[in-house]
């Protein structure tokens, strides 16, 4: 499926847009934390080297530690050297670093915000940032409400003389439905929805955006994209890594909050949504929310029947022995936190009635893989089975046998799309074997896709919230996840640990699909 005409469009030009981003002062709360060092500064550095940052730009880091501007710049330089995809260039870095400032302080202390305000005023004067502000909450969710309140009290959310004040809130947005609602209320008491950018970095991934392009820019798939032709959908967000020193965070989160509430449900929404009337923030999000609302909120009994949780034990990944979750630093020796979740979801609407979506996410699986696999129903009559090879065995209860057509959208790694279909085996008999047609981004376009955070930061500078989560989406997603947590609270915790590191999760997850006569893919 390599394109016949070499691609010359947006992909080749990277993230360049017709519109240049306006001047801006970016304030990062939690500027010395993991997210800022691993993702944000490296993304800003790449944008800067690609000429995509606003021409008049500065970064203000805010954190508790007592650094000064020079020490902060040195820390950020080290972070970019370690985690950046664009190599450091000494002269260019020195120019970039002239726009770095550091403000030490507690997030609850009004004096911190007075200092931020003074630094922003200085930057407007010296670097021409023009009163435009973008605040990034790279902090644990418990700080978010306070940050909104303090920013407002300091007058920093006021949009004066046509300048903008925007806030990017890192996930998780709350920790259950009530806290998400409370945080939305706190945010919307002081800012307009248009000013709030709730980030889910999966939406910044090229391959995730390509779900919509694939579906709605091609005429051949959409007519089949419904319950009449699709037997079931499987979505996997698998990671081979464990909790990577984030044991304390993970104990509070678990996979349901960390991955399912956001990344996985967003993939479900993009896969299942109706065509939007336009590719803009309202139209796209109007369609996604309809999908989330069409997934019934499960009661306790349904939670027992349609969900599986797991926790990894010691095992081996990539040939190396690894510890079990309970032995990770910061994790309780009798922890009941899940590191794996599988769910059977139904989408009760006209398009998807009767077509289950099986979704799973887990740490310490055999490989890192995120994919969406659409399994189509079998042909109505196994015609060739009688003439040639053995007829494809039909799955009991399921409408797709082992020879079914499968369309797999590989989000990462080996980004691409493959289609499995049956082909005649050469020879005198009419035997049918599955074969694959493959498209690989790398091969077709020959460029490395931009990092998700690069795209999303650029969109926030431009004020485009299409790839950010709206208030109603975040609450609908938490509604589902909170119902699952409630159901789990009523059940006995499974005998954790219940899967070995380096395997595809607990046996109960296989049983979940086996009951429907189906099996998980082994991507």
170 binds ligand BG6 (CB under 6 A): no
Using Cβ positions, the residue closest to ligand BG6 within the complex turns out to be 258
162: left (phi over 0), alpha (psi -120 to 50) or beta: left
Question: Looking only at residues 241 through 270 of this chain, which bind ligand BG6 when binding is defined by CB under 6 A?
Answer: 258
As given in the structure block, the two tokens for residue 25 are 């002062």
Phi, psi torsion values for 63, nearest 5 degrees: -160, 175
Provide the minimum distance between the beta carbon of 323 and ligand BG6 in the complex, in angstroms, as a whole number.
Answer: 17
Provide the minimum distance between the beta carbon of 258 and ligand BG6 in the complex, in angstroms, as a whole number.
Answer: 5
Residue 40 or 154 having the CB closest to ligand BG6: 40
- Residue among 124, 239, 338, 415 that touches ligand BG6 (CB under 6 A): 239
As given in the structure block, the two tokens for residue 188 are 């919307």
Q: If we measure between CA atoms, which residue out of 276, 57, 300, 264 comes closest to residue 171?
A: 264
Q: Which residue is it, tokens 């993702």? A: 39
Compute the C-alpha angle 310/407/388, nearest 5°: 110
328 binds ligand BG6 (CB under 6 A): no
Provide the minimum distance between the beta carbon of 333 and ligand BG6 in the complex, in angstroms, as a whole number.
Answer: 22
Residue 364 or 377 having the CB closest to ligand BG6: 364
Provide the minimum distance between the beta carbon of 370 and ligand BG6 in the complex, in angstroms, as a whole number.
Answer: 6
From 201, 263, 381, 485, the catalytic residue:
263
Pairwise CA distance, residues 478 & 141, whole Å: 14
Q: If we measure between CA atoms, which residue out of 121, 59, 49, 32 comes closest to residue 461?
A: 59
Provide the minimum distance between the beta carbon of 211 and ligand BG6 in the complex, in angstroms, as a whole number.
Answer: 15
Residue 239 or 454 having the CB closest to ligand BG6: 239
Pairwise CA distance, residues 123 & 208, whole Å: 36
318: left (phi over 0), alpha (psi -120 to 50) or beta: left
Provide the minimum distance between the beta carbon of 140 and ligand BG6 in the complex, in angstroms, as a whole number.
Answer: 12
Distances in whole angstroms, Cα of residue 241 to Cα of each of 42, 220, 317, 320, 369: 21, 37, 8, 12, 11
Q: If we measure between CA atoms, which residue out of 79, 135, 128, 129 comes closest to residue 112?
A: 135
As given in the structure block, the two tokens for residue 148 are 């909104």
Q: Is the separation of the CB atoms in 347 and 295 below 8 Å? A: yes
Q: Is 263 designated active site?
A: yes
Neighbouring-strand partners of residue 101: 60
**Is residue 59 within a helix (H) or strand (E), and if so which, with residue range?**
strand 57-63
Size of the site for ligand BG6 (CB under 6 A): 2
- Residues in touch with ligand BG6 (CB under 6 A): 239, 258
List residues with catalytic annotation.
263
């Amino acid at each position: 499926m390599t394109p016949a005409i070499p691609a010359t469009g947006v992909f080749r030009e990277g993230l360049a847009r017709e519109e240049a981003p306006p001047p801006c002062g970016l304030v990062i709360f939690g500027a010395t934390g993991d997210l800022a060092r691993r993702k944000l500064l490296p993304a800003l550095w790449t944008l800067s080297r690609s000429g995509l940052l606003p021409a008049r730009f500065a970064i203000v880091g805010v954190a508790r530690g007592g650094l000064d501007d020079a020490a902060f710049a040195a820390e950020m330089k080290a972070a970019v050297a370690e985690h950046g995809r664009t190599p450091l260039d000494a002269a260019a870095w020195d120019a970039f670093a002239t726009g770095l400032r550091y403000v030490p302080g507690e997030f609850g202390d009004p004096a911190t915000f007075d200092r931020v305000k003074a630094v922003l005023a200085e930057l407007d004067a010296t670097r021409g940032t023009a009163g435009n502000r973008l605040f990034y909450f790279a902090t644990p969710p418990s700080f978010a409400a306070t940050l909104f309140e303090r920013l407002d009290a300091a007058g920093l959310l006021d949009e004066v003389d046509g300048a903008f004040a925007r806030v990017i809130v890192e996930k998780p947005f709350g920790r259950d439905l009530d806290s998400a609602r409370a945080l939305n209320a706190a945010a919307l008491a002081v800012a307009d929805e248009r000013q709030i950018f709730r980030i889910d970095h999966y939406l910044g991934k090229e391959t995730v955006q390509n779900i919509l392009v694939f579906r709605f820019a091609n005429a051949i798939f959409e007519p089949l994209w419904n319950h009449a032709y699709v037997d079931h959908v499987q979505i996997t967000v698998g990671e081979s890594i464990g909790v990577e020193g984030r044991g304390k965070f993970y104990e509070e989160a678990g996979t349901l909050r960390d991955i399912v509430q956001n990344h996985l449900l967003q993939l479900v929404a993009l896969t299942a949504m109706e065509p939007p009337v336009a590719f803009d923030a309202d139209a796209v999000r109007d369609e996604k929310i309809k999908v989330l609302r069409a997934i019934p909120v499960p009661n306790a009994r349904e939670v027992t029947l349609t969900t599986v949780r797991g926790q990894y034990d010691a095992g081996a990944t990539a040939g190396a022995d690894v510890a079990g979750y309970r032995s990770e630093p910061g994790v309780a020796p009798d922890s009941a936190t899940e590191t794996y979740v599988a769910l059977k979801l139904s989408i009760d609407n006209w398009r998807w009635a009767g077509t289950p979506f099986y979704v799973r996410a887990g740490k310490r699986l055999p490989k890192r893989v995120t994919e969406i696999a659409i399994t189509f129903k079998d042909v109505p009559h196994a015609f060739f089975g009688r003439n040639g090879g053995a007829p494809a065995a039909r799955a009991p209860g399921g409408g797709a046998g082992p020879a079914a057509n499968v369309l797999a959208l590989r989000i990462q790694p080996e980004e691409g799309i493959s289609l499995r279909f049956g082909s005649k085996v050469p020879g005198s008999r009419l035997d049918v074997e599955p074969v694959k047609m493959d498209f690989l981004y790398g091969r077709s376009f020959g460029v490395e896709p931009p990092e998700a955070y690069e795209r999303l930061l650029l969109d926030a500078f431009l004020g485009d919230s299409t790839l950010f989560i709206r208030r109603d989406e975040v609450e609908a997603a938490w509604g589902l996840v909170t119902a699952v947590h409630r159901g789990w609270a009523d059940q006995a915790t499974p005998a954790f640990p219940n899967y070995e590191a380096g395997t595809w999760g607990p046996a109960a997850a296989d049983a979940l699909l086996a009951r429907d006569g189906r099996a998980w893919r082994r991507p």
